[in-house]
Structure 1
Amino acid sequence: MCASNLIQNLILSRSAEYKDALLRAQCKVISRQVPLMHVLCIVNIWALSFTTFSDAPLALSLYCPLILTMLCASQALWWLKIGAGVPAVEDAELALVRTGRFSGLITLALCAWALAVFAHVDAYGQSHVVFFMAITIIGSVSCLTYLLPAAIVVGLVANAVFLAFLVPSGNTVFLTMSLNVVVVSGAFLLVLAGNYREFTAQVEAQLRTEALGRENQRLANIDSLTHLPNRRSFFARLSAECAAASSNQSRLAVAMLDLDGFKAVNDLYGHPTGDCLLVEVGRRLEQACPGDAFLARLGGDEYAIIVASADEADLLRLGDRICEEVAAPYVLDGISVLISASVGFAVYPDHAAEPDLVFEYADYALYEAKQNKTGRPVLFCREHSFAILRNAKIEQALRDADLRSEIAVAFQPIIDLETGRVAAFEALSRWESRELGDVSPAQFIPIAEKAGLVSELTRVLLEQSLCAAQQWPEPLRLSFNLSPKDICAAGGALRIANIVLKSGFDPRRIDFEITETAMMHDFPHARQAVEALRALGCGISLDDFGTGYSSLTQLQTLPITKLKIDRCFVTDLQEQTTGYRIVKSMLSLAREMGIDCIVEGVETEEELRTLRQLGCRLVQGFHMSKPLDQQAARRYVGAVLIEPGRLSA
């Protein structure tokens, strides 16, 4: 049910919540008006008593006023006490009912006393009695604005007594006054009825506003797709839980979870299927988590969990259970889907004493899980702390580095087995930091990507690579790696194209290598960038082919000119393991599609021999050559690096 329907049912149907709100509002206003009414009555009582004291008996001029004063004063004090607090709904309802009854009785008592005094006084005193009754009626009705039933009772009782006593008297003045009071009090009651309707409407509006506020607050803290708590709610809860744990000297754990393969499902089957998958994952996570755990969806395919228990063995068991639940097959609208999950844990206060830090460490453990233990949980540890400090130093050194003087390019040959000569060189980055010395590309490139520095790094490396490639004879090619940011960022392909055109190097001799991960990062933008580079004449190599999630889809929709088979399929190739059959299938697929296929990571003669037998033409790896500097690469040009031989079909 939507929020508007919920509130409409709540307000317009006069629900229990509305009635409770109206009772509280009436009680709050009446607690100020009723004491004023009783003070007015007390003043009028003693004014009449003073003017008639000498004529009326002592019982009427003194004792009755005292009794009436005590009754009115007790009610006034009682309401002042109620107004000082916040009464329960039942108490408020009882107080309003009691006031309605008391108002009718005290009005009747005042009228009876006034009429008793009327019989003992002269004409002036009788006029005062009539004035007392009129002003008391009008004043009391006015003070009961927001208790309409009581105001009606007071008006009816007083006017009935007024008319019943004065009309038979035959006195024209009294008769006129009584009719005047009836008309005025009737008009007052009509005005009060309108005010009461406005009052109830105001209560409705206030309740509607409060209900909308509560609904908006709920929606602001709930993920609209999965109905789990959202990112905002998670961080608020994390801060509160950490504060409680600090006070109680207890521990808690934060788990970060990311789905492996979700984007491929989303792109392959569409967003509706992806949304159904996220909902189903949320449901499974709720079942897998302990009852006291707090589960939230942070956005995309990322979830987070706060767990009260921080025992390492329990956390790892929970992580395994979550991974097993998520990895079970899904059937969504008749489509069978398989994904996995990676989980990272961090413990408060063992690993970090601040909520933001414990979340950051859990996120780092998740990163480690995705990099090294896909589909398995990882618990943050001391080595991760050292790695974070190391990465921070590398990032700062990258920001401070003079890239043109510190960054260099190495070139690893790609060998044509048919000729035994170099067919291309792959450009590989090298960094000798003034502060840190030699830093491995496996370390600084991911950090540069995460820190947003990779585009500048790509520009410097590409310019250096093109400058070196100018010295190579045709048709030797340059193979250059692009990061996800290079091809997915707005204007990324244009910047790369400008660098190529300014260099004067023939674009048709360049192969830009992209990974499946890069393509899945933002497929529509990546596809546009790839098509633009292809239109320039550049070749496009799909790197690490077979290690991603949607290779065949990409081959079908992208202008790929080469495949690069990852090293993981080459290990023990000669033993004819599963890797052997995969490589054989990939080579056959490339031939059928009419594109080249490069096998990288060849490190032994046995692997090379097996690849020859499979009909592989282009290979790359340490068995042929390690990466070379520019001078060494030039010396290799034209050299026969391995024995040429005819390839089997």
Structure 2
Amino acid sequence: MAFLRLVVWLRAPLAESLSEAEADTRIARTQILAFVIASVFIGWTIALDWSSNGVSRDHVVVAVAATMLSCLLCLMQAPKVAGMVATSVVVPFFIYCLTLGSLSAIVIAANIALVAGVVVKVLGGSHRMFVDLIRSQQALSEERHQASRLSDENQLLAHTDPLTGLPNRRHFFARLDACLRKREAETQAQFCVGVLDLDRFKPINDTFGHAVGDKLLGEIGRRLSAYAADDLLIARLGGDEFGVLIDGGGESACRRVQALREAVCAPVTIQDAVLRVGCSVGLASYPDAGRSAHALFDRSDYALYHAKSHERGQCVIFSREHEALIRDEHRLETALRHADLDGELSLVFQPIYEARGIGMTGVEALARWQSPILGQVAPDRLIAMAERLGMINQITRILFAKALAELPRLPDGIGMNFNLSVHDIASPETVHDLIGMIGESGIDPRRLTFEITETALMSDCAAARATLGRLRKLGARVALDDFGTGYSNLGMLHQIPLDVLKVDRSLAAEMTTPSGRAMIAAIRSLAQSLSLECVIEGVENDAQLAEVSLLGCRYAQGYLLGRPMPMGTLLRAVREDRRHAQPESAAA
């Protein structure tokens, strides 16, 4: 029986996964088996002693004690089974010794019982220590698991945008770096980096509030997340800008981005308001556009800038033409950073005429930059780069000082218009400096008109109202330039202190058509109702000038009347105008 039990035990699997219930069942079965085996063996042992009439009792006692203690030690990790074995052996043997009536047998049985009790007690303590060790290991394992889970959750939170649920900027660039490392060994494998920017989001945010803007971003994030896949990552980079990583070349990536654009452009209903935004996308392909994360992202951002400037609402793929433009922009940036602005910047002046009398009433000061490195730089490029580099306020101060120096050379009846950028209006320090320069020059502020664009008003209406109010309080006038294009907002005309509306040249080009005449007439009526003067820009032929007079617009400006010119040339033009005007007045 012992041999068969040993064979079964040796053949049992060394590592077997058991549930708690299965383990309890096996322990209970082992207790029963231990009771049976111990009872059988002690019965056999007592029978041997009884049949030998005590001759072999010493052997029996040694066998009982040694075998029992050996079994108990083997059952160290199962103290209940060990107790069952001890009880099954000691109790029958002690009763047998009592029936013999031999004092020595009773003492031996009692001694065996005490030793068995002590051993069972020690085994119980050892088992409790073993259980405590296991429980501490389980607790430590649970703590490690909990710490690992919390670490995973923190890692997820650190790489997730809380507003949209999309991956955030950190995750986007980590994936971009991983894509680059993977592609180092796969020279033919292409992927694209894209930047998606919402159009018309800022007006919605300003009109309905940031809470509605956040809900709109959240809804757009949920829509975009539906398109995420193993080969398409969509992340929120910040604000209303999203990043895209797409496997494949530029053309296939552009087709997949089209689905994202359609999802973004679909209307969203928030608080009973139906909101619509568009989006523009810039894409840069690896390895054509670059082989580093910085190069790829910069080029996709430049493609986005090109899309918003020239192809709003479209997807633009970075190309070699864009690379040439970037190099040109870098040259322009370097030249502007190292330019002697006071020496290289100058002003030219374009006259503004009274349409019916053809008399000059004012001039507009226009910036010019003659770079020793680049030559003559277009004014729009100069202003755009200066705004990007944060140098526009410095340039405005230099040009305004030059304008104030030239203004006294003009006859008293002629004023000067000076353009302010959105950054000038948003800078109280710049406006304070301009006002101080006017005071120091001693020039009558009423001869000055500051021109602003609708973009400047849209960027921060409150700041624009405060800034322009300070200038008008000083005595200067304010003109809204390029009216009729961009974000024309008629309601804003009531909020901003204005004196003049300058109608954009694009409308002047159509004023000889019925629809164009109707548009100019409507703007002239609007200006009259608001007590604003109206200047038509872009007058380039006699027919347009005639229409300006017929429509009742008082002032005109354009190449027909005079191109931008240096002050000396302008003064000669003024003298020539007055020379022609004198004979006419004498004849009259």
Stretch moving more, 376-385 or 498-507: 498-507
Q: Which amino acid aligns with 1:552?
A: L
- Which of the residues 367, 370, 373 maps onto 1:429? 367
Would the alpha carbon gap of residues 371 and 176 (structure 1) be closer, same or farther in structure 2, given more than 3 Å must change?
same
- Which of the residues 283, 299, 307 maps onto 2:246? 307
Tell me how far 1:266 sits from its aligned partner. Answer: 1.2
Would the alpha carbon gap of residues 500 and 184 (structure 1) be closer, same or farther in structure 2, given more than 3 Å must change?
farther
Structure-1 residue corresponding to 2:300: 362
| Alignment partner of 1:157 is 2:68 | no
Structure-1 residue corresponding to 2:547: 610
- Which of the residues 189, 193, 200 maps onto 1:250? 189
C-alpha distance in 2, partners of 1:315/1:342? 14
Structure-2 residue corresponding to 1:265: 204
- Structure 2, unaligned runs of 5 or more: 47-56, 95-105
Tell me how far 1:390 sits from its aligned partner. Answer: 0.7
For normalisation by structure 2, the TM-score amounts to 0.79
Tell me how far 1:398 sits from its aligned partner. Answer: 0.8
User: 1:10-46: per-residue Cα shift (whole Å, max 9, x none)?
Assistant: xxxxxxxxxxxxxxxxxxxxxxxxxxxxxxxxxxxxx
| Structure 1 contact 346–379 (Cα < 8 Å) conserved | yes
Structure-2 residue corresponding to 1:564: 502
User: 1:479-502: per-residue Cα shift (whole Å, max 9, x none)?
Assistant: 222233333357444444444444
- Structure 1, unaligned runs of 5 or more: 1-58, 80-90, 142-153
Structure-1 residue corresponding to 2:354: 416
Would the alpha carbon gap of residues 175 and 362 (structure 1) be closer, same or farther in structure 2, given more than 3 Å must change?
same
User: 1:529-551: per-residue Cα shift (whole Å, max 9, x none)?
Assistant: 44554555544333333333362
Structure-1 residue corresponding to 2:179: 241
Stretch moving more, 520-529 or 254-263: 520-529
Stretch moving more, 162-171 or 285-294: 285-294
SS state of the match for residue 321, structure 2?
Answer: helix
Structure-1 residue corresponding to 2:568: 631
SS state of the match for residue 512, structure 2?
Answer: helix
Structure-2 residue corresponding to 1:31: none
User: 1:112-156: per-residue Cα shift (whole Å, max 9, x none)?
Assistant: 79x88999769899777776666665xx44xxxxxxxxxxxx121
C-alpha distance in 2, partners of 1:64/1:329? 81
Would the alpha carbon gap of residues 630 and 208 (structure 1) be closer, same or farther in structure 2, given more than 3 Å must change?
farther
- Which of the residues 274, 280, 291 maps onto 2:213? 274
Stretch moving more, 601-610 or 537-546: 537-546
Would the alpha carbon gap of residues 605 and 505 (structure 1) be closer, same or farther in structure 2, given more than 3 Å must change?
same
Identity of aligned residues (%): 34
| Alignment partner of 1:597 is 2:512 | no
Structure-2 residue corresponding to 1:515: 453
| Structure 2 contact 34–81 (Cα < 8 Å) conserved | no
| Structure 2 contact 383–392 (Cα < 8 Å) conserved | yes
C-alpha distance in 2, partners of 1:394/1:368? 17
C-alpha distance in 1, partners of 2:130/2:487? 73
Report matched runs for 1:31-180 at 5 Å: 71=10, 140-141=76-77, 154-166=78-90, 169=94, 171-180=109-118
- Which of the residues 211, 216, 219 maps onto 2:157? 219
Tell me how far 1:525 sits from its aligned partner. Answer: 4.7
For normalisation by structure 1, the TM-score amounts to 0.72
Report matched runs for 1:219-618 at 5 Å: 219-248=157-186, 249-282=188-221, 285=224, 292-310=231-249, 312=251, 314=252, 317=255, 323=261, 326-417=264-355, 420-474=358-412, 476-489=414-427, 491-523=429-461, 525-549=463-487, 551-577=489-515, 579-618=516-555
| Alignment partner of 1:622 is 2:559 | yes
C-alpha distance in 2, partners of 1:566/1:495? 29
User: 1:205-255: per-residue Cα shift (whole Å, max 9, x none)?
Assistant: 433332232222223222222222322222223333344445331222333
Would the alpha carbon gap of residues 596 and 331 (structure 1) be closer, same or farther in structure 2, given more than 3 Å must change?
farther
User: 1:544-594: per-residue Cα shift (whole Å, max 9, x none)?
Assistant: 3333336234324333333332222222211123x4433332222222222
Tell me how far 1:399 sits from its aligned partner. Answer: 0.9
Would the alpha carbon gap of residues 401 and 244 (structure 1) be closer, same or farther in structure 2, given more than 3 Å must change?
same
| Structure 1 contact 395–444 (Cα < 8 Å) conserved | no
C-alpha distance in 1, partners of 2:335/2:543? 42
Tell me how far 1:96 sits from its aligned partner. Answer: 12
C-alpha distance in 1, partners of 2:243/2:81? 68
Q: Which amino acid aligns with 2:175?
A: R
C-alpha distance in 2, partners of 1:180/1:507? 111
Q: Which amino acid aligns with 1:304?
A: G
SS state of the match for residue 236, structure 2?
Answer: strand
Would the alpha carbon gap of residues 565 and 187 (structure 1) be closer, same or farther in structure 2, given more than 3 Å must change?
farther
Stretch moving more, 165-174 or 546-555: 165-174
| Structure 2 contact 335–371 (Cα < 8 Å) conserved | yes
Stretch moving more, 297-306 or 189-198: 189-198
Higher Cα radius of gyration? 2
| Structure 1 contact 111–161 (Cα < 8 Å) conserved | no
Structure-2 residue corresponding to 1:22: none
User: 1:323-362: per-residue Cα shift (whole Å, max 9, x none)?
Assistant: 5554454443322334332222322222323333222222
Structure-2 residue corresponding to 1:151: none
